[in-house]
Structure 1
Amino acid sequence: MTALEKYITTFFGEIPETDLKTIVSLFKHTTMKKGDYLLQTGKVCERLSFVHEGLLRQFVATPEKDITQWISTSGYFSGDLSSFVTEAKSELTIQALVDTEISYISKHDYKLLGEWVPKWHEIEKGFIIKCFIMMEQRIYRHLSMTAEERYEYYFEHNKELFNQVPLQYIASMLGMSPETLSRIRKKANS
């Protein structure tokens, strides 16, 4: 079983093997170089990507600063789901922070899943629900936790990123300044 197949079955539950093979067959594999863009602000998101290896940073550029929304690591999907579904222009930019291997499905091929996989609409509903739950939990943590608690939670679940990603991106994602993150890290390490 490939990493993508494992992720799909872990995330969505049991899917008949023939349907799983059909789903995975519509994904194409590619490598992105550090600095390459998966999506740029103002463009419609035309594909959803699964990260095999590497890091993709999702961010919004404002006149004052870039705000990191998420960093996709191995085993996660990346894309602007809202833009992908509604075909609205994206406010996000998605960029490879390191050389990154992905598998992606185009909007065209994604639409074929509804025709080729009998229970696709059920599977898709499960995917969207899980995305919504993850976002809801993240918002709750952001609103209910102190800066120190957000740092501790994120560090506990993403230790490897602290050596791979510029700390200003992590600080932005956690809703704090780089100086605050530095102070919290120093306090946590003492």
Structure 2
Amino acid sequence: MMHLERKASASEVEQLCQLFDRFHKTGKGVRQFLSGHLYAGSLRRGDFLLTSGTRCTHIYVIKSGVLRGFIREGEKDITTWITVENEIVAAISSFILQVPTIENIQALEDCELLAISHEDLEALYLSVPTFNIVGRKITELYYTLAENRSFITRMQKAENKYDLFLRHYGHLANRIPQKYIASFLGIATETLSRVRQKARKGSKT
């Protein structure tokens, strides 16, 4: 589990605000608030950010590295999402409702993270009302991404699953171990290997 090691630096606050500015322009009030309430931490590859049965008390932004979310069914891990730098991470139902999660979040690479607590995020919404627009637009984006993931998992043909994966997550194809991509797609690793070989051959013709 990650320990928040220090308050975020001024440059880290600015980096996060620039990310938020893509959704809606933030102002001085947001920067001032985050300078006192944004924290930084790190994970080594294989470490857990969150485990099933615990409560997600913070929402995180990845400065560097890769995280995956997964659930367990018996002895089997089922990868539900994979995300990288400049993206937001939380066990979202647990974070919003402040209840235990069934999800696990694990680092696939060494990670540097920024974090804000549920309590502080709610206070930010109240103290800077325009920040609610940022929150809404981020929610809309991640709902859309969740819809894309649901389309992938509901497809029956492995080729179609992988094609849609490349369309939405092509930046992960050569970065993430194949077993996690296969788990995310809901297919066997051997099937994914066959599909990838077929796709490579098709691209050469």
1:162 aligns with 2:170: no
Q: 1:149 to 1:116 in 2, by over 3 A?
A: same
129-138 or 169-178: bigger deviation: 129-138
Aligned in 2, Cα 1:135/1:160: closer, same or farther, shift over 3 Å? closer
Structure 2 residues not aligned, in runs of 5+? 1-10
- Describe the shift of the 1:141–1:170 C-alpha distance in structure 2 as closer, same or farther (beyond 3 A): closer
Q: CA deviation at 1:7?
A: 2.0
CA drift of 1:174 comes to 1.4
Equivalent positions of 1:1-190 (< 5 A) are 2-10=14-22, 12-15=23-26, 17-22=27-32, 24-25=34-35, 26-143=37-154, 146-190=157-201
Q: Aligned-pair RMSD on alpha carbons?
A: 2.1
Q: Unmatched 5+ residue regions in structure 1?
A: none
The one-letter amino acid of 1:88's match is: V
SS at match of 1:51: strand
Give the distance between the partners of 2:33 and 2:82, measured in 1 at CA: 25
Contact 2:48 2:107 in 1 (8 A): yes
Partner of 2:6: none
Question: What is the SS of the residue equivalent to 1:94?
Answer: strand
* Contact 1:3-1:52 at 8 Å conserved across structures: no
SS at match of 1:139: helix
Letter paired with 2:16: L
Identity of aligned residues (%): 31
Distance 2:174 2:141 in 1: 28
